Structure 1
């Protein structure tokens, strides 16, 4: 973070973007008398705690309204939270909190689920660095900021367990979440098409950005091995210095150059014979020896680079790297240096729905039938919790 204090949304924006019944509740409470309430906020599935954006939103609104919200973070950022276990409690004026529920829940649920997915991916491949390439899959800038934050939280949690985690992302606007001055990335497929050849695109990039490490997409013409080696031979000094990488992004409609089902099995038999014997589903089998960026494809690329005298050229893998694919790659000991992914985004958006229930009115415990577990949790203050007064 840059240390700046986020400005709160206008009252008109809050009113327009929250549910109408919350606005009406606020009006009723103002008319009949305010009270002090405590909300418990939770998700229905396990997550990694990523509360910062929601807490900052509450802080900013409290400042704008000249009031005070006591926010107790029950699970510090980056820690695991069980299903139904409150992440935080919010205490303050019911009249000032009633219309905020929609907006702080939007800032809490998706980051917590995405952080959990990012964490799982990183711990499956602890020796691999991850890049968050999710921006173009997000529904606007606000979501992109939430997802970058989530990837940074999940990656940091994985680093606590010895993984490399997420080292950066694709856009300058959200690079600060990873402590980076700008986004990562060299070239899209469009530049290869513009250049007319993979080698020429690499030459153009190096001429324009001579001090930058060079990562070259090699699947545009379906000649991953041929074009990858051509780039290495054109830039032997960069390759020898470890500043050259080939990025495999082969789509699922074809095999990497030189592979077919039989050859894919042969490649894995040479490098990870146990993996092919342990597969448990058709999806896992496809990740191992199927089309696209499979474990066999990665091993074949590594064989070609090493055999041609380029052992320091790195391999960047992208295309559908979710938790399951990372797990399969780990089992096959696939030679990946960096994974570019946006698959930490929740597959099922319904899993991101955070919920808030009032559990106390003017100090008297009260909650709707079926949510009594929140009363128990609310009464058990976590020893690792922290209070954030707004």
Structure 2
């Protein structure tokens, strides 16, 4: 990951007031009337996450500059570090009057990226030999979420890279490419291009004629002939296939099996390659990932088998369609020969898990926190506690 976030538009007080919870605005007015205090907030999440605070910190810096004030920030967990449930990520200190109306907005910028980064980290560790592409943009609720999710994937992917995984190597849009140290998004063709071309091979030809210097990744599930169309594309572009510059992307939807597969044949494929993967108890979801419809482990193994038998061992397999943490784990257990995973499934599935929380733990240097949240007190809090 390289570079820092692009500066968003300066945060005006009127915009902040309109977007923040009303009780914070009223607290600001009360504090301004009765006298300011210097406070320290502990900012945390209730579940384990990977620290991804940069969007929050950049925004706070912009606000502090605009308001001609200063916020002292102690980052307890650096970007990319694992954080336990309830463990403060940041201690934020400054004027109560200047901070109280910011809580709503800075929490929005912290929680979702931290959970998404944790998901991305886990996915990459499950499949360390596969490169990941962040294809989250179409599932995001607008540009701000798109920015948060791409940033999160880069943080989680970089953390996994430090442990030997390939991690996330890029994303699908130019706007967020910088988070991965790139200047452009990745991707070749959607299903719509296959329909427009009228055949998978013709779509591949159109792409190659337009972008002759680009590696070619071809969607092969449009007509339900994944194996047949993959081999036809390889035969049409033997030089690209031999040079490792050709890939087939499996995106078979969950309503049918990959060409030539059914439950019995799916089991047979895994029996040939990874018999141990099907000889233990499996949940219904795990079985679907292994031998069910859509992009299963059996489907990926069958594609690899067909490519190798036809003399195309260097053609890569890109897998997409629902590759979240659990599916990546099953693919790892089945040793699925995946070269690249295209996924947006690091986006948090349960949004309530992304809610970050901030509690004041000190007023003018005196430790004070609501009952039950004493665990948030700063490590120096024990010294201050007796003064409260």
What band does the TM-score fall into relative to the shorter chain?
A: over 0.9
Structure 1 contact 6–56 (Cα < 8 Å) conserved:
no
Aligned with 1:151 (options 143, 147, 153): 153
Structure 2 contact 81–159 (Cα < 8 Å) conserved:
yes
Alpha-carbon shift at residue 376 of structure 1 (Å): 5.3
- Counterpart secondary structure, 1:99: helix
Alpha-carbon shift at residue 12 of structure 1 (Å): 1.2
Whether 1:33 and 2:35 are equivalent positions in the alignment is yes
Aligned with 1:278 (options 272, 277, 280): 280
Deviation by residue 1:48-89 (Cα, 9 ceiling, x = unmatched): 000000011110000000000001110000000000000001
Structure 1 contact 17–103 (Cα < 8 Å) conserved:
yes
Alignment of 1:346-357 (within 5 A): 346-357=348-359
Structure 2 contact 319–338 (Cα < 8 Å) conserved:
yes
Structure 1 contact 289–296 (Cα < 8 Å) conserved:
yes
> What does residue 91 of structure 1 align with?
93
> What does residue 384 of structure 1 align with?
none
Alpha-carbon shift at residue 8 of structure 1 (Å): 2.6
Aligned with 1:108 (options 102, 107, 110): 110
Deviation by residue 1:315-371 (Cα, 9 ceiling, x = unmatched): 000000011111110111001000000010001000000000000011111111111
> What does residue 176 of structure 1 align with?
178
Alpha-carbon shift at residue 380 of structure 1 (Å): 8.5
Structure 1 contact 118–150 (Cα < 8 Å) conserved:
yes
- Counterpart secondary structure, 1:204: helix
Structure 2 contact 115–354 (Cα < 8 Å) conserved:
yes
How far apart, in 1, do the equivalents of 2:276 and 2:379 lie? 45
RMSD: 1.3
Structure 2 contact 5–55 (Cα < 8 Å) conserved:
no
Structure 1 contact 254–292 (Cα < 8 Å) conserved:
yes
> What does residue 124 of structure 2 align with?
122
Instruction: Name the count of aligned residue pairs.
Output: 381
- Counterpart secondary structure, 1:75: coil
> What does residue 259 of structure 1 align with?
261
Moved beyond 6 Å, runs of 4+:
none
How far apart, in 1, do the equivalents of 2:6 and 2:170 lie? 21
Sort the Cα spacing of 1:362 and 1:2 in 2 relative to 1 into closer, same or farther, 3 A.
closer
Alpha-carbon shift at residue 5 of structure 1 (Å): 4.9
* Structure 1: gaps of 5 or more residues: 382-390
> What does residue 142 of structure 1 align with?
144
> What does residue 229 of structure 2 align with?
227
Report 1 or 2 for greater relative contact order, CA contacts < 8 Å, sequence distance ≥ 6. 1
> What does residue 199 of structure 2 align with?
197
Q: TM-score, normalised by structure 2?
A: 0.96
* Structure 2: gaps of 5 or more residues: 384-388
- Counterpart secondary structure, 2:312: coil
How far apart, in 1, do the equivalents of 2:203 and 2:243 lie? 20
